Chain A
Amino acid sequence: MYLSTVSRPVADSAEPGPRRRFALVSGNVVALGTVSLITDVSAEMVAAVLPLYLVLGLHLSPVAFGVLDGVHTGATALLRVVGGFAADRFRRRKLIAGIGYTLSAVAKLGLLLAGRSIPAIGAVIAVDRLGKGVRSAPRDALITLSTPPEALGRAFGVHRAMDSVGAFLGPLAAFAVLLVVGQSYDAVFVTSFCIAALAVVVLVLFVRERSPGEAVDRPDDPKVSVGEAFGLLRSGPARRLVLAAALLGLATIGDGFVYLLLQRRVDLGLRWFPLLAVGTSLAYLLLAAPLGVLADRIGRLPVVLGGYTALGATYLLLAGPVGGWPLVALTLTLYGVFYAATDGVLIALAGPVLPVRLRTTGIALVQTGQALAYLVSSVLFGLAWQAWGPENAIRAAAVAVASVLVGTLFLLASPSRPTTRKVPR
Chain B
Amino acid sequence: MTALSTRAKLAVVVASAVLLAAVATGYAATAAQAPRTPPPTGGEQAVTLTSGPRLLAITDRHVSTVATTDPAGPRTVAELECLRVYAAAGTGVCLKPETAWSYQVVVLDAALRQTRAVSVPGLPNRARVSASGRMVSWTTFVGGDSYTSSGFSTRTGILDTRTGATVASLEEFAITKDGRGHRNPDVNYWGVTFTADDNRFYATMSTGGKRYLVRGDLAARTVETLKENVECPSLSPDGTRLAFKEALDADPAKGWRLSVLDLVTMRVTATAETRSVDDQAAWLDSGRLAYTLRRDDGQPDVWSVPADGAGTPTLVIPGAESPSPLT
- From residue 127 to 177 of chain B, which have CB atoms closer than 8 A to chain A? 141-152, 154-155, 168-169
Interface centre among B12, B31, B33 (most CB of A within 10 A): B31
A254–B298 Cα gap in the complex (Å)? Answer: 35
4 other contacts beyond A116-B298, A274-B145, with CB at 8 A cut-off? A195-B20, A202-B13, A204-B1, A390-B183
| B-chain residues with CB within 8 Å of residue A320 when the two chains form the complex | none
Name the interface size band of chain B: 35 or more
Q: How far is the CA of A256 from the CA of B147 in the complex (A)?
A: 9
A12 to B152, CA, bound (A): 50
A184, B31: Cβ atoms closer than 8 Å:
yes
Whether B147 lies near A271 (C-beta < 8 A) is no
User: In whole angstroms, how far apart are the Cα atoms of A47 and B145 in the complex?
Assistant: 9
Q: Are B28 and A51 in contact (CB under 8 A)?
A: no
A181 to B29, CA, bound (A): 7
Distance, CA A13 to CA B155, complexed state (A): 53
Which chain B residues lie closer than 8 Å to A167 at the CB level? Answer: 147
Query: In whole angstroms, how far apart are the Cα atoms of A167 and B145 in the complex?
Result: 13
Asked if B278 is at the interface of the complex by the 8 Å CB criterion, the answer is yes
Query: B16 in the interface, Cβ–Cβ < 8 Å?
Result: yes
Q: Are B1 and A277 in contact (CB under 8 A)?
A: no
**Stretch with Cβ within 8 A of A (4 or more), from B43-51, B117-125, B259-267, B283-291:** B117-125
Measured CB to CB, the closest approach of chain B to A45, in angstroms, equals 10
Proximity string of chain A (173-195) to chain B, C-beta cutoff 8 Å, 1 when within and 0 when not: 00101111111101100110011
B185 within 8 A of A: yes
Chain A 193-207 interface residues, beta-carbon cutoff 8 Å to B: 194-195, 197-198, 201-202, 204-206
Size class of A's contact patch?
Answer: 35 or more
- Do the beta carbons of B28 and A180 come within 8 Å of each other? yes
Interface check A283, CB cutoff 8 A: no
Q: How far is the CA of A87 from the CA of B150 in the complex (A)?
A: 29
Nearest CB on B from A227, distance (A):
34
Q: In the complex, are the beta carbons of A259 and B28 less than 8 A apart?
A: no
Q: Is B24 an interface residue (CB 8 A)?
A: yes
Residues of A within 8 A of B (CB): 44, 47-48, 50-52, 55-56, 58-59, 61-67, 69-70, 116, 118, 125, 167, 171, 175, 177-184, 186-187, 190-191, 194-195, 197-198, 201-202, 204-206, 254-257, 259-260, 269-271, 273-274, 277, 281, 382, 385-386, 389-390
A62 near B152: Cβ-Cβ < 8 Å = yes
Q: Which residues of A sit under 8 angstroms from B123, Cβ to Cβ? A: 51-52, 55-56
CB A59 to nearest CB in B, in angstroms, measures 6
- The DSSP consensus for interface residues of chain A is helix
Name the distance in Å between B58's Cβ and chain A's nearest Cβ.
Answer: 12
Task: Report the separation of the CA atoms of residues A183 and B32 in the bound assembly, to the nearest whole angstrom.
Answer: 8
Contact A181 B32 (CB under 8 A): yes
Residues of B1-34 at the interface with A, using a CB-CB cut-off of 8 Å, are: 1, 4, 9, 12-13, 16-17, 20-21, 23-24, 27-28, 31-33
24 A-B pairs with CB atoms under 8 Å apart are: A44-B146, A47-B150, A50-B150, A51-B141, A55-B123, A56-B123, A69-B151, A116-B298, A180-B32, A184-B28, A190-B31, A191-B24, A197-B20, A201-B16, A204-B1, A205-B9, A255-B148, A259-B145, A271-B102, A273-B121, A281-B147, A385-B185, A386-B183, A386-B184
B154 cross-chain contacts in A, Cβ below 8 A: 62
Q: Is the CB of B83 within 8 A of A270?
A: no
